[in-house]
């Protein structure tokens, strides 16, 4: 498994010079995004965020010599030569439980019962597991010799004091949360979850749950993209459908700017013709540019940063990246996975949100337009991948069955069954 | 990529008959878990949940014939034979925007300008893309002929009325949310996110952020397991550290039973010796059993269902599954991924939470005890996987660097570099 893009002959250039390659567009986006300011968050809130500091061991880990088994703390010399036939017999002078903070000292020639995780008494240099003994109470017979250090976890065996356990830039998954907690950290400095505002634009859109009249469709994009945002661990705010004109789009963006670390629109503003007026207005808000990317689905893309220096009357110091994704649901989804995911990682100072990529064998033929990289919906099962029918970009039903995107490079127009392809695994 | 366990000679049996295999234990767990009752949730709340109903198309999708491009609605016969040299010229009688709910009729010999997604006017049978024309306003020159149906998305082309779009048992990822929304659904019947209460038990545990005295360690398990629960999409409630005795553990469980769909403890109750009193008390609460599973790390496991018929004074009708995971953080983590994840899926009527599995090549040797399946922390990079040093089950620092678990089967004790192994990809 690898993370990241597809590489091969011509991957970074396209047959049609007026189109950007997927990689060119991804690079342009990442160049425009600065990480969010760090915040100190308690561990439970920091889950899924990205460390903005190194987490070091405040003390040696473990901080004291302790037993890795239930048994008896002894001097190894006192059980040297012990065997089933000739056990060593030692008086048991006490017992140390895990969590016992008392101070114990082993007298040579005796044993102290000890539980897993309990502190090794001073003077002891080995633990004899209970399985090697008669489990005695007042005295214990030991049937096997133990080397010094047997079943002992030494202080600092896991990490020395001051050792870096987690580096800045690490995403706090469950394991990393455990490492921070085990180092005694109640809070850590992280780049917080990006707050993303999602707007669908389009006069043809109707809210789900309300009646449909001919000419209209139910809005699915804002629900889908908000869910996709949350799948990355970011916070999504969904805005109701916005009319696809400057009077609808611009105030909606302005209103959301204050709460957003990233804005995503889907629909009209990426399109041509009638919508140039919205595009022109968006350009005035900042550095938003529109381009065609040599891919299918999802050609028309818009990206920029708005709110800069109060341009366009937004009056904000905030500079907020904005994506204007295509309106077709499939195009919007694929565009999100390829372009917005890496941007969300960059806002957190990380580079880990690309979809995982594997190789698989096509079970059926796949077609792609010349000069464009296709991302076909498919079902990945083991090392085989099946392209789904209904690949037109408005055909959403096949989305519900896909678990992967099959990547057909720019320089291929059709691949036969049996060919090996790169496959992106969907969340 | 596959999801699920490792299979091979002897996988389902173990060298030591007193041990359960991983699969035997997984099966026993799943046999004891019933899905949660369904609830109707609005789409945003239903994200990540599992459908308890089929979602069907309430209307045909799309519900009306519409244009897939910006262009001109025409009668194909009126542009037959059109070419660059001999264009067809048609009077433009109107314009239809996306979302326009007006009723339009094309008069033969004329054209109506039409936007992507807009309703095809009655009488038209094709759309000529704007790129094939002079983009005329009062009249348009068409430089290319169009077949009937060109650039037309027909009603029902994506789904017929009543067609099943999503089946019960489907998890609602972003794409499935889009499918439900595009079918007009505002709410769906799902099995809700399981609510999981996580308790660390152990007298040696101290809360992170508070000073450590010798003999004590900071609790990491409850933070880690709560985070791992949330990574699956379930809801986690973390309880502070609980003393490792019946007076500590049993009231804590009783108190949490009412809000939990699943309970997870880590620590003492899975261990032997001193802790038998807690085990015995837990057994009395229901059907909790303790067994050793032929794996490393994570041998001692406990699972059952408590609260049944009010047994043990819990007085509840609720039957709540409980896992008592080992206290070593690494053991607890691996046990969670192997046993609790599938249980959380089963609570939702799904079987999709097993870690994804791929094959990779070892970059260094790996060892494993005979008769036990080892899950070694490793770093997966492309098709290569590197075992990390520090594989003892208390050595948590290496957890922070791992992104995968390397599976060494029961019948192997050491594998050389270059061998192919199964690898579980961590969240």
pLDDT tens string B310-364 = 444 444 467 899 999 988 888 999 999 999 999 999 999 999 899 988 899 999 9
The average pLDDT across B40-59 equals 95
Q: Which residues contact B291 (CB under 8 A, 6 or more apart)?
A: B19, B20, B25, B300, B301, B302
Q: Which of B2, B18, B10 is nearest to B408 (CA)?
A: B10
| pLDDT recorded at residue A5 | 43
What three-state secondary structure class fits A355?
coil
Cβ contact (<8 Å) for A181 and B43? Answer: no
Beta bridge partners of A110: A91
By Cβ distance, the residue of B63, B64, B68 closest to A394 is B68
Q: What is the pLDDT of residues B378-419, one digit of tens each?
A: 999 888 999 997 666 566 777 788 999 999 999 999 999 999
- From the options 2.40.340.10, 2.30.30.110, 2.40.100.10, 3.40.50.920, give the CATH code of B356-425: 2.40.340.10
Residue with tokens 């009603």: B155
Taking alpha carbons only, the member of A336, A322, A413, A404 closest to residue A373 is A413
Binary contact (B182, A97; C-beta < 8 A): no
pLDDT of residue A273: 55
Stretch B78-101: mean pLDDT, rounded?
A: 95
- Over residues B80-84, the mean pLDDT reads 96
Contact A400, B170 (CB under 8 A): yes
Which part of chain B has CATH 3.40.980.10? 2-36+192-347
Q: Nearest chain B Cα to A166, which residue?
A: B400
A135 and A90 Cβ atoms separated by less than 8 Å: no
Mean pLDDT score across all residues of chain B:
89
Token representation of residue B415: 């594998």
Between strands A126-129 and A71-74, the pairing is antiparallel
Residues of chain A with CATH 2.170.190.11: 66-153
What's residue A277's pLDDT? 67
Among residues B235, B117, B171, the alpha carbon closest in space to that of A218 is found at B117
Q: What is the pLDDT of residues B204-225, one digit of tens each?
A: 999 999 999 989 999 999 999 9
Q: B395 vs A273: CB contact, 8 Å cut-off?
A: no
**Both tokens assigned to A81:** 């030569």
Please give the pLDDT value at position B314.
46
Residues of chain A with pLDDT below 50 are 4-16, 270, 310-316
Closest-CA residue of A relative to B96 is A215
Closest Cα of chain A to B266: distance in Å? 13
Domain at A2-36+192-347: CATH architecture: 3-Layer(aba) Sandwich (3.40)
The beta-carbon neighbor of A165 closest among B159, B394, B400 is B400
Answer yes or no: are the C-beta atoms of B52 and B37 closer than 8 Å. no
Residue of B53, B63, B181 for testing the chain A interface, max A β-carbons within 10 Å:
B181
CA distance B25 to chain A (A): 24
Q: Cβ separation of B238 and A44 shorter than 8 Å? A: yes
The two tokens of residue A387 are 């392209």
Question: Which pLDDT belongs to residue B47?
Answer: 96
- CB-nearest partner of B274 from A115, A170, A205: A115
Chain A residue with Cα closest to B153: A394
Q: Do A223 and B116 touch (CB under 8 A)?
A: no
Under an 8 A CB cutoff, do A396 and B216 touch?
Answer: no
Q: Which residues of B touch A140 (CB under 8 A)?
A: none
Regarding an ipTM greater than 0.95, the answer is: no
Residue ranges, CATH 3.90.105.10, chain B: 41-60+167-191
Q: What's the pLDDT at A13?
A: 40
- Residues of A with CB below 8 A from B64's CB? 214-215
Among candidates B186, B207, B223 on the partner chain, residue whose Cβ is nearest the Cβ of A209: B186
Q: What is the maximum span of chain A, computed from C-alpha positions, in angstroms?
A: 96
Q: What is the arithmetic mean of pLDDT over B189-217? A: 93
10 Å CB burial of residue B334 (0-12, 13-18, 19+) is buried
Contact: A218, B400; criterion CB under 8 Å:
no
Secondary element (H or E) of residue A56: strand A55-56
Kindly report, as residue ranges, where domains of CATH 3.90.105.10 are found in chain A: 41-61+165-191
More confidently predicted of B292 and A382? B292
Indicate yes or no: CB of B204 within 8 angstroms of CB of A43.
no
Chain B positions in Cβ-Cβ contact with residue A48 (cut-off 8 Å): 230
Nearest by CB to B223, from A63, A177, A402: name it. A177
Domain A41-61+165-191 belongs to what topology?
Molybdopterin biosynthesis moea protein, domain 2 (3.90.105)
What confidence score (pLDDT) does residue B336 get? Answer: 98
Q: Where are the beta strands (DSSP E) in A148-299?
A: 152-153, 164-166, 187-191, 195-201, 205-206, 217-218, 235-242, 262-267, 289-292, 295-296
B66-153 is classed in which CATH architecture? Beta Complex (2.170)
Chain B residue numbers touching A208 (CB-CB < 8 A) = 43, 180-186
Pairing verdict, β A66-67 and A152-153: antiparallel
CATH topology of domain B41-60+167-191: Molybdopterin biosynthesis moea protein, domain 2 (3.90.105)
**E strands of B169-244, at which residues?**
187-191, 195-201, 205-206, 217-218, 235-242
Residues of A in contact with B116 (CB under 8 A): 271, 327
Distance from CA of A163 to the nearest CA of B (A): 10
CB contact under 8 A, A399 and B179: yes
CB contact under 8 A, A209 and B218: no
Q: Which residues of B touch A400 (CB under 8 A)?
A: 165-166, 170, 175-176, 179
CB contact under 8 A, A333 and B175: yes
Contact: B181, A64; criterion CB under 8 Å: no
Whether B62 sits inside 8 A of A157 (CB atoms) is no
CB-nearest partner of B396 from A99, A182, A185: A182
Report the distance separating Cα B212 and Cα B23, nearest Å.
Answer: 40
């Amino acid at each position: 498994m690898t993370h990241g893009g597809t590489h091969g002959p011509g991957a970074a250039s396209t047959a049609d010079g007026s189109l950007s390659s997927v990689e060119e567009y991804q690079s342009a986006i990442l160049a425009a995004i600065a990480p969010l300011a760090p915040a100190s968050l308690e561990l439970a809130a920091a889950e899924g965020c990205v460390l903005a500091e190194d987490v070091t061991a405040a003390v040696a880990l473990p901080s004291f010599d302790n037993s890795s088994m239930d048994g008896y703390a002894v001097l190894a010399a006192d059980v040297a030569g012990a065997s089933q036939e000739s056990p060593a017999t030692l008086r048991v002078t006490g017992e140390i439980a895990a969590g016992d903070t008392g101070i114990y000292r082993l007298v040579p020639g005796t044993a102290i019962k000890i539980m897993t995780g309990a502190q090794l008494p001073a003077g002891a240099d080995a633990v004899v597991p209970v399985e090697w003994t008669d489990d005695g109470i007042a005295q214990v017979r030991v049937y096997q010799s133990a080397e010094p250090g047997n079943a002992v976890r030494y202080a600092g065996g896991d990490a020395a004091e001051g050792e870096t356990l987690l580096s800045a830039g690490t995403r706090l998954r469950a394991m990393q949360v455990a490492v921070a907690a085990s180092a005694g950290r109640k809070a850590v400095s992280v780049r917080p979850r990006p707050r993303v505002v999602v707007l669908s634009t389009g006069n043809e859109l109707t809210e789900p749950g309300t009646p449909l009249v001919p000419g209209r469709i139910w809005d699915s994009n804002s629900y889908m993209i908000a869910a996709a945002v949350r799948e990355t661990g970011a916070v999504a705010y969904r805005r109701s459908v916005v009319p696809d004109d400057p009077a609808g789009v611009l105030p909606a963006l302005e209103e959301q700017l204050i709460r957003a670390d990233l804005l995503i629109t889907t629909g009209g503003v990426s399109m041509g013709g009638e919508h140039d007026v919205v595009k022109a207005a968006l350009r005035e808000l900042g550095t938003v540019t529109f381009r065609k990317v040599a891919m299918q689905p999802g050609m028309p893309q818009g990206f920029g940063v708005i709110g800069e220096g109060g341009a366009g009357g937004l009056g904000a110091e905030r500079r907020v990246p904005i994506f204007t994704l295509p309106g077709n649901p499939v195009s919007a989804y694929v565009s999100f996975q390829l372009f917005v995911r890496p941007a969300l990682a960059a806002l957190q100072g990380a580079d880990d949100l690309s979809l995982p990529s594997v190789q698989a064998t096509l079970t059926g033929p796949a077609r792609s337009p010349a000069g464009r990289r296709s991302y076909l919906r498919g079902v990945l099962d083991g090392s085989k991948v099946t392209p789904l029918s209904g690949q037109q970009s408005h055909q959403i039903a096949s989305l519900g069955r896909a678990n992967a995107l099959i990547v057909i490079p720019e320089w291929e127009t059709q691949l036969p069954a049996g060919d090996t392809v790169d496959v992106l695994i969907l969340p």
